[in-house]
Amino acid sequence: MSSPLPTISRLIASVDTTEFTDLDRVRAAVVMADDLGTLGDQVVSHFVEAARHSGCSWSQIGEQLGVSKQAAQQAFVSPTPRRGRFGRRPAVRRHGRWSDDAKAVIIGAQEESGALGHDHVGTEHLLLALTRGTGTAATALRQIGVDHTAVRAHLDELIGRGTVGKSGRRPFGPRTKKVLELAVRESIHLQHPELRAEHVLLAIVREGEGMAAQILVQKVGVDLAQVRQTVLDLLRDGGPRTPGAPPSA
C-alpha cells in the first residue's frame, strides 16, 4: 500500500518556523515546491525505467504521461534532456546550488567515515570535514580552538574505530540529514545565493544534539552560541568568501 501523501497542513508547518521572517518563508516554500516537484519526477523516472525494462514502448509510455513518443524519449533518454515535469518545463531550483566548499564537506565527511571504519556519515564526520577547509567555517572553528586533530582524538575516545572497509558510499545518519536540511534553512535565512560550508556548521549548532555538537561542548569546551556568533561575525566582516580568499577590505 502506498504511503499517505503529506497534507497541506504538514507542509505549511514545516516551513512556518519562528526563526523565519515572512519573506524567508516565501523563499523556503519555493524551495519546498521545487523539491516536491523533483521528487515526483524521480518517482515517475523510476517507473518509466521499469516499464522500459519490461518491454513497454516509448509510444505506450508517452500515452500514460500525456506526451508524444518523441517528448517522452527526449525527457528520459536525450543526452541533454529538458528537466522537470517530463520535459514540459524547466526545473526552477531557486536554492539548489551548493558551493564547492560545501560539496567538499560532504565528500570529506564520506572520507572521514571511511577512514574511521564507520558504516554511516554522522554529524561528527561533517565536523571533521569542516576542520579541513580554508573558508569561513574552518576559520571560525580555528578561532575558537577547534582543530582536526583534536576532534579526531575526541571521536576516537567517544565511539572508537569501526570495522567497515574504506570503499563505497556511506548513508547519511538521521541527524546528518537533519543538519543538511537545517543548512538549507540557514542559507535562506541569511539570504545567501548558495549553500556554503558555514551553513553546515551553523546547522550543526542549531541541531545541537548530534555527536558533533557533543564533541564541541563536552570535549572541546566551547559554547554553541559562541560558535554561531563567531561565524556570523566573520560573515558580517567579510561576507561569504571563496575558500582561501582574503577578507573584504
Is 90 exceeded by the pLDDT of residue 7?
no
Range of the domain at 128: 100-238
Q: Please, what is the end-to-end C-alpha distance for the chain in angstroms?
A: 60
Considering the domain architecture, whether residues 205 and 110 belong to the same structural domain is answered as: yes
Is the entire prediction scored with pTM above 0.75? no
pLDDT of residue 95: 43
Residue whose entry in the numeric block shows the C-alpha cell 573584504: 248
Is 50 exceeded by the pLDDT of residue 131?
yes
Within a domain: 249:
no
Within a domain: 158:
yes
Considering the domain architecture, whether residues 118 and 230 belong to the same structural domain is answered as: yes
Q: Are 183 and 129 in contact (CB under 8 A)?
A: no
pLDDT of residue 167: 66
Number of domain units in the chain: 2
Of the residues 87, 113, 148, the one at which a domain ends:
87
Considering the domain architecture, whether residues 113 and 224 belong to the same structural domain is answered as: yes
Within a domain: 107:
yes
Lowest mean pLDDT segment, chosen from 28-37, 104-113, 147-156, 167-176: 28-37
Q: Which helix (H) or strand (E) holds 138?
A: helix 136-143
In tens, the pLDDT along 46-101 reads 788 888 888 898 888 888 877 787 777 777 765 444 444 444 333 333 345 788 88
Of the residues 34, 62, 87, the one at which a domain ends:
87
Considering the domain architecture, whether residues 133 and 78 belong to the same structural domain is answered as: no
pLDDT of residue 73: 75
In tens, the pLDDT along 204-247 reads 999 888 888 988 888 778 888 888 999 999 988 775 554 444 44
Burial state string for 130-139 with b = 16 or more CB within 10 A and e = fewer than 16: bbebbbbbbb
In tens, the pLDDT along 10-35 reads 767 766 655 566 666 666 666 666 66
